Amino acid sequence: MKIRVRFAPSPTGYLHIGGARTALFNWLFARHHGGTFILRIEDTDAARNSQEAVEVILDGLRWLGLHWDEGPLTGEATGPSHGDRGPYFQSQRRELYLRRVEALLSRGLAYEQDGAIKFRMRREPVVIHDLIVGEVVRRLTDREEQDPDFVILRSDGQPVFHLTNVVDDLEMGITHVIRGEDHLSNTAKHIALFEAFGVKPPHYAHIPLILNPDGSKMSKRDRGAAVHWYREEGYLPEALVNYLALLGWSPKDNREKLSVPELIDRFDLAQVLRHNARFDPEKLLWLQGEYMRELPRDRFYELAVQALHKAGLDTTRYPLNYVKAALDTCYGKVKTFRELPDYGGFYFREEVEYDPQAVAQHFVPDQAPRIRRLRDSLGRVGAFDAATLETALKSVAAELGVKPAVLVHPVRLACTGRTAGPSLYHLMEVLGRERVLDRLERALARPEWNA
RNA sequence: GACCCUAUCGUCUAGCGGUUAGGACACCACCCUUUCACGGUGGUAGCCCGGGUUCGAGUCCCGGUAGGGUCGCCA
């Protein structure tokens, strides 16, 4: 039997990080077994659905590289799709649901009450054989004891989640339902519906939830709850995928960094943990840094330029060689692209923006004559390359009887406005003699040196 | 209130009856060094509590506690 799994998000306007992991686990499971990964949009709640809300989900999944074999190609409910089990929007499947409701009605398994149709739920405990959680015996709660039946068709004629979810999984031939643990209790209802339709329910696998770092549940408003936030913050999708895969699952060999093919090869539902995991932004940032340091250079240039433009820095005003040389000095040094404008923005700004605190610390009277002397030296050196500049600075330092670091800090500040950044000698080489001397001159003209 | 799930360093995890309880992030110290990172070395830190079972329990069972989920004409 060919495995068929699905990710069935509701278009809420964003792709939740937990949803993304659910999608990832489904996708990894499908790819591992050579199965089919289906995307279905659960848009039965017309009030809060929009094409844009669906696009956000499609974009998020595409960015993460979780491509679906069947499902919509655009956010338009009546638009094109892949696969022969569609439509893949629940809003387009109304006839299917009504037919199923009729069937239940005709067999006395459902009945009308106050204009709504309710399903006759069994009162006996339901046994759920979950691939992750194990065997779960779900009994009725006290409220359900009063009335175990539940609405499957609202009085306004709209089908309800439990019904649509089951009908679609049935019609689409879903073999494994991999979803968040928040659905575990609902599963009893779903199994009862499958049985009412006379078919065996699919296999279930409920994965634990992702919590905030403080252990509270993640809601839409929490920072980092939405996948697109990571894209805007300059994260790499491969880092996020790697991190998400390791939340609640482990390859068990002490490896933290795994490529997508490795994840596909090793992923196994049975090894998924049963307890919730807290999202750790620090560890994600570390992994992100690991991926940044081995990013192909061209992709780094491309994403770096995008980040710079987003920050209002126009790289197109500079020669391509200059841009590349400048970015080369930043490669491997920033952990996210969000950090880049702050880290290397001085290359693309003619006016240096000084860090006031650093100015107070380094542009001091004692330093003025030293920096003037260094400026003179730099004006005379033959070649303006990193090696020559290093030699020149160190020899001036030696002549002055100070450590190189004494000169390094104010020069860096004069050239970049910051106390941290790319290698000083390389950055001066890229800036070039003219800009460096100009920046030193302008820095020396400031009043702080004489204060 | 009822029902269901869960419980190893601060966090993510390995462990599957006998281990000096391992790794990673974070943190601390030192080294490297033109800054910041990176890298290297070392370190602090953990089996929720109480009963059983067993020669022996982080590992199995029960109870408690704590956290999470569900019980909707939301999904």
Answer whether the bond into residue A80 is a cis peptide, omega within 30°.
Answer: no
> For residue range A87-143, what is the model confidence (pLDDT) as tens digits?
999 999 999 999 999 999 999 999 999 999 999 999 999 999 999 999 999 999 999
Question: For position A447, what pLDDT does the model report?
Answer: 86
Nucleotide nearest A114 (Cα, C1'): B73
Residues 48-77 in A having a C-beta less than 7 A from any atom of strand B are: none
Bridge partners (DSSP) listed for residue A113: A116
Q: What pLDDT score does A47 carry?
A: 61
Bridge partner list, A52:
none
In this structure, what token pair is assigned to residue A257?
């960094």
Cα A92 to chain centroid distance, Å, stands at 30
Over 90: is that where the pLDDT of A308 sits? yes
- Tell me the three-class secondary structure of A82-99, residue by residue: ECCCCCCEHHHCHHHHHH
Spatial distance between the Cα atoms of A85 and A4, rounded to a whole number of angstroms: 12
Predicted TM-score (pTM) of the model is 0.95
The helix (H) or strand (E) run that includes residue A113 is strand A110-113
Taking the C-alpha atoms of residue A272 and residue A21, their distance in angstroms, rounded to an integer, is 12
Joined tokens for residue A393 = 């600075």
C1' nearest to CA of A152: which nucleotide? B73
Amino acid at A259: S
Structure tokens at A235: 């994260």
Residues 209-268 of A with CB under 7 A from strand B: 209, 211, 213, 215-217, 246-250, 252, 254, 256
| pLDDT one-digit tens code per residue, A77-86 | 999 999 999 8
Q: A38-52, A181-195, A372-386: which has the highest mean pLDDT?
A: A181-195
- The Å distance, CA of A245 to C1' of B33, is 36
Query: How would you label A56-81 residue by residue, b for 16+ Cβ within 10 Å and e otherwise?
Result: bbbebbebbebebbbbbeebebeeeb
**Mean pLDDT confidence for A402-415:** 93
